[in-house]
A and B are shown apart, each in its own frame.
Chain A
Amino acid sequence: MLLVMMLFPSMFLPAGVVGAFALAIFAQNCAKNVSGASKIFIAEKAVATAFTITAGEISAITGTTPFMRVDAMQDSVYWNQTGELIGLNNWKITNEVGFDIMPPATATNTFLQALIDGSPCGFFAIIIDGNAACWVVGHNATDVRERPLRLTKQDHKTGKGLSEAEGNTIPITLGNECGGLALKLDATLNASTLDGTGTHIDWS
């Protein structure tokens, strides 16, 4: 029994706990690395009904309604994925997705109200980063779909006078705490997100 445990430790993990990845060589790709994020799409958890994962990447997104394009202000979109040791044996990941919209108007109110109304059930977001890679935030392989993003903050200030650049913009923050890393779209889905041909997103 002891020998079997030593040879196949993953067989003895409790239900729901997946085996660890063995450490392997990490080879760096000698290519340009661009910071920032350029675009965000958001879907309510209820309408993005399934993710298919192949070789660690999302190869298909199934839904009743596609992810919706959000026209955020240039260079306002960001995504922070922060890992933190909890106690000795636990690892927590905190996601924060932010973007600014403008100007305060009925349309921005409608959008904000939709985020407020959808927040109890949560959201998934597709972020296009500076390297043109697309990531689904709010879903991960550990919690699956149980810890989606929620609206954590919206902050509208008029600013004082004409010389305040941030006046009358509305910064919006979505976030979650979860147990797994966000997954990347595979090459095919990534390409169809960037060129707008994928049915999982709504560019129009």
Chain B
Amino acid sequence: MAKLIVRKECLESEVHFTYNNSSYKVVLKNASPEQLNMIKEVGVDVFEKEIKEVK
């Protein structure tokens, strides 16, 4: 799984989202990798674009 990197301008933001019928309030600069994965699955656009390796 690629490492998720939050864009610098979004670090101070917090995301309020629902995942598996539970509500979460996550400050992005303090988010755990699991929380970041949930935020990505919900579709929140706060991450750096993934850089694909060229073989």
Contacts and interface: CB of A to CB of B under 8 A. Distances in A.
Interface stretch (A54-62, A87-95, A157-165): A54-62
A53 B13 contact: yes
B39 A50 contact: yes
Interface size grouping (class) on chain A: 10 to 19
Interface in B3-27: 10, 12-18, 23-25
B16 A145 contact: yes
B43 A62 contact: yes
A134 B25 CA distance: 22
B11 to A, nearest CB: 10
Nearest to A147: B23
Contact of B10 (A46, A52, A145, A146): A52
B36 interface: no
A50 B13 contact: no
A49 to B, nearest CB: 5
- 8 closest A-B pairs by beta carbon, nearest first, are A50-B17, A54-B13, A145-B23, A144-B16, A144-B23, A51-B16, A144-B25, A62-B44
